[in-house]
Amino acid sequence: MIPETDAARLHRQLRREEPELAPDLAAKAGIATGDYILKHRIPPLAQAILRALPSSLSARMLSRAIARHAWTFVGSGALHVVSPWVYEIKNNPLISGESSVQCLCAWHEGVFSRLYQSLVTASAQCTETCCGAQGKGKRCRFELVRGQV
C-alpha cells in the first residue's frame, strides 16, 4: 500500500525504460499483490467459503468485495463492476496521461487473475480488452474467463 502517485510513476518509468519487460514485470507484481491481499486482507474463513461455493456464486461474492474495496485496485480511479467476471476502470491513475495502441494494465490483470484463481476457479484468466490509454473517454476493461486447467 503506497501512494498512487508513487505507483503510477513506477509503472510509467518501467514502461518507458523497459518496454519489452514491463508487461511481464507488472503482471508478476500484480500476482504478488494478489498474494498479499490473500494473506493479509481476506480472512481465511471467507476464503474457505468462496472456494467451497460454485464458481458463479463465488465470483459474484468476490466482485462485491472488490467493489467495496475498490481503492485497493484503482486508487482515485472509478471501478465499475459490469458483471462478476468483467470490471472497468475509469480514470485509471496507473496510466493517466499516457497514450498507447496496446493495453498497458498488466498489473491489474495479474491481481484479478490471482484472486480469481485462488478463490473462484484455478483456471481463471484475466485479460485487459480495452485500455484507457487507447483514446479519450476509453475505460480500462478487464474480462475474466475460465480457462482450461
Q: In the 8-state DSSP scheme, what is residue 134?
A: G
In angstroms, the CA 72 to CA 87 distance is 14
Q: Which residue, chain included where needed, has cell 493495453?
A: 103
pLDDT score recorded for residue 145: 96
Dihedral sign for Cα 46, 51, 52, 56, please.
Answer: positive
Q: Considering the entire predicted model, what is its pTM? A: 0.95
Strands 124-130 and 140-146: antiparallel
pLDDT score recorded for residue 148: 67
Question: Residue 147 has which C-alpha cell?
Answer: 480457462
For the chain (149 residues), the mean pLDDT of every run of 10, in chain order, is 90 97 97 97 97 97 96 93 98 96 98 98 98 95 86
pLDDT score recorded for residue 149: 59
